Chains A and B, each alone.
Chain A
Amino acid sequence: MFAAISLFVLLSLPHPAFPDTPQKSFEAIAREADAARQADHLIDALKLYSEAVHLHPTWADGWWWLGSILYEQDRFSEAQASFKRFIALSPKPAPAYAFLALCEYETQDYALALHHFELWSNAHSPGKGALLDVASFHWALLLTRAGRFNEALFILAAKAKQRETAPVLTEAIGLASLRMAFLPEDYPPERRESVWLAGMAEVYNAQSESRLSDAYAERLLSHYGQEPNVHYFRGILLRFQGNEDSAAEEFQKELEISPRHVPALTEWAASRLEAGYDSEALSLAKRAIEIDPQSARAHYILGRALLETGSFHESAQELEIAKRLAPESSRVRFALSTAYKRLGRKQDSEREQAAFLALKDKDNVLAPLGDKFKAPQATEHPQ
């Protein structure tokens, strides 16, 4: 199905590397392998494809089907080797990167899996249906494990929005929501209930069912209010509902438990900024940057707060740092464009405005990086 080279095309080509007799033998074996696969005789197909690629190691389709059957049988390390061979031989290996990454996930080569998911994302034919669904889910799990919680939640919440309510999705969302850099297979069992409750709260939040979301979030707070990240998560939910004052209280509570919690400080600053308390936002964002100078979001919030207080030069400086740390963020570009405009730097402002328009609506982590700077689609301002 995903084979980049048609088997029939491939079989019609003479192969100079093989003398007559073995070539015939290869063709016969390949035909038998395909027939066995199509008849669902997978054990036979497996043996025949193995023999065929042994005879003809550059037969890309053979490696593809071999990998697919081994993957189907959960024999991931063997499937992994086959997909690697396919990728090396194929001019358009995009879907195979996803399969390779899925195999690497199973064999616990997590760094490689993450890398290959990223290659998959940057390619232009990610596949569709079940592959897209399964691969993006596992990619999100690995993003969570790598501490890239917002990117993970971006993927997972999109699934929840489509009214998917599978328990595995809830668990994955719970882990990312509570900023637990674990996989579902390896987090401490005593955290299971909190992960479930957070997952349910976020699933319902993604579905705009705020009453149900609140019910689970309150259950989470009642038992786990002293655990790190719980008040932060509650604050995020409250911000989503537009309840900035209550959100600020939750971020404050989080900081009592985790005094160096940069996301809590940053979101508290964002919340204050939204409510019009610019100087408070300024001070909170500065505190966040003191703890983590690499926080793009903290620099962005500080830049916006400075913009609001009329410190345009300092604002531009902060937003330039944010841009360097998060070059794909459309919001940073919009704010920077505004700061340059206030400083009278028309050309710079127009450049950032163009970048904003190009990046807008492409915050989706699945969008290839190259695509993000293409064809502007809208002229609206960010929220």
Chain B
Amino acid sequence: MINQKIVVLLACSWALAISSVTGHGSTALAQQKPPATSSRTTPDFAALSDAAEKARQEGRNDDAIRLYRQGLSVQPDWKQGLWFLGMLLYEKEQYAEVRDLMRRFVAVEPLAGPGWALLGLSEFQTREYPRSLEHLQHVRAIGLGKQQEMSEALFYHVSVLLTRFEQYDAAMTLLMGLRKSGSSPDLLVEPIGLSALRYPLLPSEIPPARKEMFRLAGEAALADESNRRDEAEKLFSAMAAEFPNEPGVHFLFGVFLLDVRPDDGIREIQRELVIVPYNLTAKLRLADEYLKEEKFDDALRLASEVVQLDPQNPSGFMVLGEALVAKNDLDRGIAALETSRKLRPETVRTHWDLLRAYTSAGRAKDAKREKEEIEQILHPVASQ
């Protein structure tokens, strides 16, 4: 579905594709200096270029493809040729060739967001997922220029790839953003279900027997996001009843319940830990809840288990440090929090924890530094 939409969007003009770079449309482009390869330009090229353009505008796509190819054999850096041939071939699902054309296109037009987008989307189709994600993320950094219509396709693909690369929280943020921007829930249900249940799969990779599980999870998460709590609970409950032994199910339901009925939430997460005793995310969430309820020993036990199983887990050290500080074990608490800060310096909560812990320990200078760090993270420009 999303791919059909891309094909329609690609019927955009050359002007839109390139205008993010030059700020000009095709007229301005025609007035640009010829590229350095112009020494190889022959009168035939101009004729080919005109014929290709005419064929494309008249919808004679096969002729246009042939003519663009001929033109590119004369002038390999011909930007319009690369772009339109790529567009026409994408429509014909010849993704490997589009990918190669767009690699050449972005090499000569490195700031053309739509070019990088078409490259990343083609790589998605050829299943070169790491490269696809890298290039689509690059588009997010440089922008799509005036071709904002492509943004839904861009964000959708980035989010499903983030899930596949186990960056579930970032994926979920993008997916919920897409929903708020008006994307169809039908498009988003499965990706949200996958991300919520923390399965590194694309929607096309969902095992058929558990499609319903991901659908229920996705619909429930969407209902929750829209504050339709009763509907969300019914859906989560149905998911847990139908798939009681699947990893992730009770954790997801439990996290939802923590906000509604914390005791039930704790029970669900405990069920999760019976099914998957080493679900570190569940252990941490539970430890966090115990901290809130001032059950410091329970929190300490779970956080200790997490860092023992995964000594590189920054959240584990953060919760461990919080529990230790709460039990007045300042030295060990500060040490754990400092480990967390070292592993993931951008987490504001760790800096707040350290600020408070240093203050309690009478380390005013260290506390001041943490405050500055917080400022730097929250207001990076202002603090420069």
Binding site for B on A (CB under 8 A): 42-43, 46-47, 73-75, 77, 163, 167-168, 184-186, 189-190, 192-193, 196, 209, 211-212, 215, 219, 222-223
Which B residues are in CB contact (< 8 Å) with A167? 164-166, 200
Closest to A165 in B: B312
Q: With contacts A73-B106, A75-B100, A196-B201 known, what are 5 further pairs, Cβ within 8 A?
A: A43-B107, A184-B127, A185-B128, A209-B309, A211-B309
The prevalent SS among residues of A at the interface is helix
Closest Cβ–Cβ distance, residue B43 to chain A (whole Å): 23
Binding site for A on B (CB under 8 A): 36-37, 100, 103-104, 106-108, 110, 126-131, 164-166, 199-202, 204-205, 207-208, 245, 247, 276-278, 309, 312
B127 touches A185 (CB 8 A): yes
Closest Cβ–Cβ distance, residue B89 to chain A (whole Å): 17
Which A residues are in CB contact (< 8 Å) with B127? 184-186
Which A residues are in CB contact (< 8 Å) with B128? 185
B278 touches A193 (CB 8 A): no
B103 touches A190 (CB 8 A): no
B278 touches A211 (CB 8 A): yes
Closest to B128 in A: A185
A190 touches B207 (CB 8 A): yes
Most chain A Cβ neighbours within 10 Å, of B106, B131, B207: B207
> In the assembly, what is the distance between CA of A42 and CA of B309, in Å?
46
Closest to B130 in A: A168
Q: A167-B166, A190-B205, A223-B207 known; A215 and B107 CB under 8 Å?
A: no
Closest Cβ–Cβ distance, residue B48 to chain A (whole Å): 22
Closest Cβ–Cβ distance, residue A75 to chain B (whole Å): 6
CB within 8 A of B103: which of A74, A209, A222?
A74
B277 touches A189 (CB 8 A): no
Which B residues are in CB contact (< 8 Å) with A212? 278, 309
Which B residues are in CB contact (< 8 Å) with A184? 127, 129
Closest to B119 in A: A74
> In the assembly, what is the distance between CA of A46 and CA of B36, in Å?
12
Which B residues are in CB contact (< 8 Å) with A47? 36-37
Which A residues are in CB contact (< 8 Å) with B131? 74
> In the assembly, what is the distance between CA of A189 and CA of B129, in Å?
13
A215 touches B277 (CB 8 A): yes
Which A residues are in CB contact (< 8 Å) with B309? 209, 211-212
Which A residues are in CB contact (< 8 Å) with B278? 211-212, 215
Which B residues are in CB contact (< 8 Å) with A186? 127
> In the assembly, what is the distance between CA of A220 and CA of B27, in Å?
59
Closest Cβ–Cβ distance, residue B193 to chain A (whole Å): 14
B312 touches A163 (CB 8 A): yes
Q: Return 21 A-B CB contacts under 8 Å, by A number.
A: A43-B110, A46-B107, A47-B37, A73-B103, A75-B104, A77-B100, A167-B165, A168-B130, A185-B126, A185-B127, A185-B128, A186-B127, A189-B204, A189-B205, A192-B205, A193-B205, A196-B200, A209-B309, A211-B278, A219-B247, A222-B245
A75 touches B202 (CB 8 A): no
> In the assembly, what is the distance between CA of A222 and CA of B275, in Å?
12
Closest Cβ–Cβ distance, residue B124 to chain A (whole Å): 11
> In the assembly, what is the distance between CA of A73 and CA of B101, in Å?
12
Q: A73-B107, A75-B107, A168-B130 known; A189 and B202 CB under 8 Å?
A: yes
Which A residues are in CB contact (< 8 Å) with B201? 192-193, 196
> In the assembly, what is the distance between CA of A75 and CA of B108, in Å?
12
Closest to B165 in A: A167
Which B residues are in CB contact (< 8 Å) with A190? 205, 207-208
CB within 8 A of A75: which of B103, B129, B166?
B103
Closest Cβ–Cβ distance, residue B158 to chain A (whole Å): 15
Closest Cβ–Cβ distance, residue A194 to chain B (whole Å): 9
